[in-house]
Amino acid sequence: MNRLSACLITLNEEHDLPRALASLEGIADEVIVVDSGSTDRTASIAREHGAAFFERGWTNYSEQKNFAAECAQNEWVFSMDADEELSSALQTSLLHWKKHEPQSSVYEMARKTWYLGAWVKHSGWYPDFQRRLYRRNKAQFSGIIHEALRFEGQPGRLAGDLLHYTVRSLAEHEQKVERYAALAAQQMYAAGERSWRSAVWFATPWSWFQNYFLRGGFLDGYRGALIAQMAARAVRIKYENLGQLVRAAGRNRE
């Protein structure tokens, strides 16, 4: 039987963490929680559920997740966010997978997101395949933001949804957009990207059109309209921040 370590990274997750850990019961042979300085009940909740709790100062998402995998005792890792939950169908798939010889070194599954009181079924948010189950010596996370597993070969696929309980209010969504857009701009600048002016004017409306029409956002009602609006705002803020970085670098060279 394949033994499985579930790895989560946390920061003040007392609201969501109990649900995530409960869904792992009977599935994971070990649970690793790596925390970056929580001041709420995250630590006590993790320990109450039998998780091994580690503390590590925040650097970025990839490094936190890779550190969590290094703390694991088992060959196979399931990386999960604290605001996620295994659906019953995904639990069944994982139990079946544990009993058979793996055919891939990485597996993906669909993720379904709960947004402002309902499941989003379009808008580019579903099925939103996530590669989370992997042999830890064959894959590793990379990327400052929107981290992804890097590996060779083709992933396998598990049935069932990974349930994602995202923002609970529009204000929270706006805060996340601004934070992620700033990080994305830093990553683009570090990668050598310097073009930003035309993107502010053209990429922003294209993002809205793509999400609302091409990705079926209109089928999600007013939630789809908000998602398209926020996606376009994220693009605009990202390139505006990139422009600020480019101008600041120019002034420093003068």
pLDDT at 78 over 70: yes
What's the confidence (pLDDT) of residue 251? 79
Our separate counts of H helices and E strands in the chain read 7, 11
Q: In the predicted model, what is the mean pLDDT of residues 61-76?
A: 97
- Is the pLDDT at 250 greater than 80? The verdict is no
What is the reported pLDDT for 149?
A: 96
State pLDDT tens for residues 162-193. Answer: 999 988 889 999 999 999 999 899 989 999 99
Residue 28: the pLDDT is: 98
Domain ranges of the chain: 4-165, 170-253
Closest of 161, 72, 84 to residue 121, by C-alpha: 161
* Whole-Å CA distances, 28 to 58, 80, 211, 241: 25, 11, 36, 41
Burial class, 222, CB count within 10 angstroms (exposed 0-12 / middle 13-18 / buried 19+): exposed
CATH architecture of 4-165: Alpha-Beta Complex (3.90)
From 194, 221, 200, select the one nearest 115 (Cα to Cα). Answer: 221
What is the reported pLDDT for 105? 98
Q: pLDDT, tens digit, for every residue of 119-165?
A: 999 999 999 999 999 999 999 999 877 789 999 999 999 999 999 99
The tens digit of pLDDT for each residue in 86-129 reads 999 999 999 999 999 999 999 999 999 999 999 999 999 999 99
In tens, the pLDDT along 203-236 reads 999 999 999 999 999 999 999 999 999 999 999 9
* DSSP conformational letter for 219: G
Q: Which residue has the tokens 């064959």?
A: 138
pLDDT confidence tier of residue 254, bands split at 50, 70 and 90 = low
Q: Determine the pLDDT at residue 117.
A: 93
DSSP string, 182-198: HHHHHHHHHTT----HH
